[in-house]
Amino acid sequence: MASYALILLQIIVLSSLAATAFSLSPYYYQNICPQALPTIKTLVEAAVYKERRMGASLLRLHFHDCFVNGCDASILLDPSPTIDSEKGALANQNSARGFEVIDEIKKEVDKICGRPVVSCADILAVAARDSVVALGGPSWKVRLGRRDSTTASRTQADIDIPSPLMDLPALINNFRNQGLNQRDLVALSGGHTIGFAQCLTFRGRIYNATNIDPSFAKERRATCPRTGGDTTLAPLDSTAARFDTAYFSSLVKQRGLLTSDQALFSGGSTDNLVNTYRLYPQVFRKDFAQSMIKMGNIKSLTGNEGQIRVNCRMVNY
């Protein structure tokens, strides 16, 4: 009987170890390459100092990566005979940017580590955090140990990356499919407190919407005509280079730039959260950090899954 109990205990312990052996950890590189994270931070800060908009671009890369088959750096893969690059997806084509910054980070990190031990997926996750911090936002302990995918899917990217034209039910469903709830939806949408959007993505709203401040619509129409100027940029909120709560204040004033932004404050179930984040910045910062950690865990490859790419733009062969 004692022997049976001992065997049962061993099975439980081994099962527990198997479940946690390849879980992500903030300390994953502590012994493997302790200089990896400081190197990423330095290079991200330099890139954001050179161009403030880059902070939003790097945050967006991580978001668009995680929503397509998990946080596996699939968004970084260039087209090839075997890769249907996500860079060609509607949400990424001619708008996803910052790839050269990730390339530079990868090169320098591999150099300082002496070999390719830091995955491109982890670089994306850390660069997103460091970008937010560089623009005055909260910090969080990024869980690390992801590995890189060997595939990409432009088709899946077109399905899974939320559209700027989505209404609230569609957004809630889109995030639910990723294991994210309404609080995550509103908190992560708050990432739009930094960055810009192209005229093509908000033209319909500024010319056709009824839930829009007339003076704001007029202001945006000045640089986004009914035809042409598709790539002309407009700030997502009034302080596009600073991570703050101006985004939520703009929604309450019906000055959300994208249809999907204003949908969060349109008489629906997320109105109260928008008001909470507008009035209590510390609550938004805390929730944003927690939701970023949660998003970073989506279908991550660990252990012997995937690979550590030598070049973030192509699969190792």
> Is 72 assigned to a binding site?
yes
- 103 belongs to an annotated ligand binding site: no
Q: Which of 53, 64, 285, 309 is catalytic?
A: 64
Which runs of consecutive H residues, i.e. helices, occur in the chain?
A: 2-20, 36-50, 53-66, 99-113, 120-134, 154-160, 168-176, 182-189, 199-208, 214-221, 246-252, 259-262, 271-279, 281-296
Q: Is 244 marked within a binding site?
A: yes
Instruction: Tell me: is residue 68 an annotated ligand-binding position.
Output: yes
Torsion of CA 80, 85, 87, 89, to 10 degrees: 140
| Rounded distance between C-alpha atoms, residue 304 and residue 317, angstroms | 16
- To the question of whether residue 70 is assigned a binding role by annotation, the answer is yes
Contact 24, 143 (CB under 8 A): yes
**Strand, helix or coil at 24?**
coil
Q: Is 74 annotated as a binding residue?
A: yes
- The answer for residues whose C-beta is within 8 angstroms of residue 316's C-beta and 6 or more apart is 150, 307, 308, 309, 310
Residue for token pair 């700027």: 164
Calpha distance 88→92 (Å, rounded): 6
- 62: annotated active-site residue: no
Q: Is 219 annotated as a binding residue?
A: no
- The greatest distance separating any two alpha carbons of the chain, rounded to the nearest whole angstrom, comes to 82
Q: Which amino acid is at 48?
A: V
Q: Is 62 annotated as a binding residue?
A: no
Q: Is 179 annotated as a binding residue?
A: no
Q: Annotated binding site for heme b: which residue ranges?
A: 192
Q: Annotated binding site for Ca(2+): which residue ranges?
A: 65, 68, 70, 72, 74, 86, 193, 237, 244
Active site residues: 64
Q: Annotated binding site: which residue ranges?
A: 65, 68, 70, 72, 74, 86, 162, 192-193, 237, 244
